[in-house]
Amino acid sequence: MRVNLTDRQQHILWATVRHYIATAEPVGSKALVDEFNLSVSPATIRNAMGTLEKAGLLYQPHTSAGRVPSDSGYRIYVDQLIQPSDTLARKVEQVLDQLNWSDGRMDAALRGAAQILATISGYIAMITIPQTNMACLRHLQLVQLEPGKVMLIVVTDAYETQSVLVQLPRDAEGNTPDVEIVDRQLQILSNFLNSKLRGRSLSELSAVDWSELDRDFELYAEWMGTMLTALSNRQSNPTYTRILIGGLAEALRLPEFSQLQQVQTLVQLLEQEQELLWPLIFESPELETPGKRVTVRIGSENSLEPIRGCTLISSTYRRGSVPVGSVGVLGPTRMVYENAIAVVEAAADYLSEAIGGNRVSFPDGERGRSDHPSLDAP
């Protein structure tokens, strides 16, 4: 949204939003003169506020009251009048760095991170558990179960296992190779695949250069390509993961959450209906605006009824260029936006750097899961 405002109107809108965020009280012209030293008369400020109200950026909750920002007013404030706090961003990075990310307990570290972000921002913090379908391959093994049948076993960097059962290809005469020969060949193939694929995400398993296979193993090329493509395709779409919540009890003490029914529906959404919230928080901001680091949804911009009176600020964190999780804060529209945006940006950057540098592992909540679809490879 772009509204053409004069410098004075921008300054008065900025001051009105700042005052209302700090006090939660409708703002009058005299309060702005006293607090912000605007060097103009209260009458001039009233005229400017009247113009802003006609533009839909301010409104009067009561005829005798001052004015408060509308969702559109907050939108102008966020998009045109503020910059995220660099000081707070540095603080977030420093505090997150004190958590223990190295012992493989990703879930515990992220819970701690969510609580830290809630404490620093003053709002509800949310971090999604990373996408296990974006985990990277740690080890791969081909095992012959019986003549003609082989299982591909994949172990991720979270020690999660997945497997695919396949039928061995036959030679030109239609015969299945000797069992002992197959065992030796499968070991060589396993070594080859490990050297090519270790450290790649499961969604990249089909990207193997088969031209490096020795002529004796050309028989397996199409077979392996089909098997790995099937496993890769299974990982292609993001799937719902848990959202870790921090600061819920503290944030609900804010005056905007004083109505019991409102609190109940919000708590139900956060604790029991996360699958409804997940698409909003996980969506990459770059889908809306290329190069944008955060998504800010203000009030009525939110599609879910329980948070239509709230602001949701979120960003994805990545492994390389692939989004694997998200971080966000949720609070009233009367939010200190420059701080909340800085918290989300810094946390997303920190997690992206940590995961990309292999300082953290993916969650282990699904360790030991094994899938055995049958594929009829040619």
Domain of 209: which CATH number? 3.30.390
Pairing state between β 161-167 and 149-156: antiparallel
> Can you give the pLDDT at residue 150?
87
Q: Are residues 251 and 340 in the same domain?
A: yes
Name the residue among 17, 20, 78 with its Cα closest to residue 342: 78
26 close to 61: Cβ distance less than 8 angstroms: yes
Q: Are residues 261 and 297 in the same domain?
A: yes
pLDDT in tens, 83-107: 999 999 999 999 999 988 766 677 8
For the chain, the domain total comes to 3
- 366: in domain: no
Element at 113 (helix H, strand E): helix 106-121
> Can you give the pLDDT at residue 104?
60
Q: Are residues 351 and 251 in the same domain?
A: yes
Q: What is the DSSP letter of 175?
A: P
Q: Amino acid letter at 270?
A: L
Q: Above 60 in pLDDT, residue 370? A: no
In a 10 Å sphere around its CB, with 0-12 CB exposed, 13-18 middle and 19+ buried, how is residue 88 labelled? Answer: buried
Q: Are residues 35 and 91 in the same domain?
A: no
- 374: in domain: no
344 close to 327: Cβ distance less than 8 angstroms: yes
pLDDT class of 168 with cuts at 50, 70, 90: confident
Q: Are residues 211 and 156 in the same domain?
A: yes
- 162: in domain: yes
Q: What average pLDDT does the segment 190-202 reach?
A: 82
> Can you give the pLDDT at residue 372?
36
- 115: in domain: yes
Q: What is the CATH number of the domain that holds 27?
A: 1.10.10.10
Q: Are residues 269 and 297 in the same domain?
A: yes
Residue 74 sits in which domain range?
Answer: 7-81
Q: Higher model confidence: residue 170 or residue 137? A: 137
pLDDT in tens, 10-58: 999 999 999 999 999 999 999 999 898 888 888 999 999 999 999 999 9
Q: Are residues 225 and 246 in the same domain?
A: no
Q: How would you label 31-67 residue by residue, b for 16+ Cβ within 10 Å and e otherwise?
A: bbbeebebebeeeebbbbbebbeebebbeeeeeeebb
> Can you give the pLDDT at residue 376?
35
Q: Above 70 in pLDDT, residue 357? A: no
Question: E-assigned strands of the chain?
Answer: 58-59, 68-69, 124-128, 137-146, 149-156, 161-167, 243-246, 295-298, 310-319, 322-332, 374-375
| pTM score | 0.72
Q: Above 60 in pLDDT, residue 167? A: yes
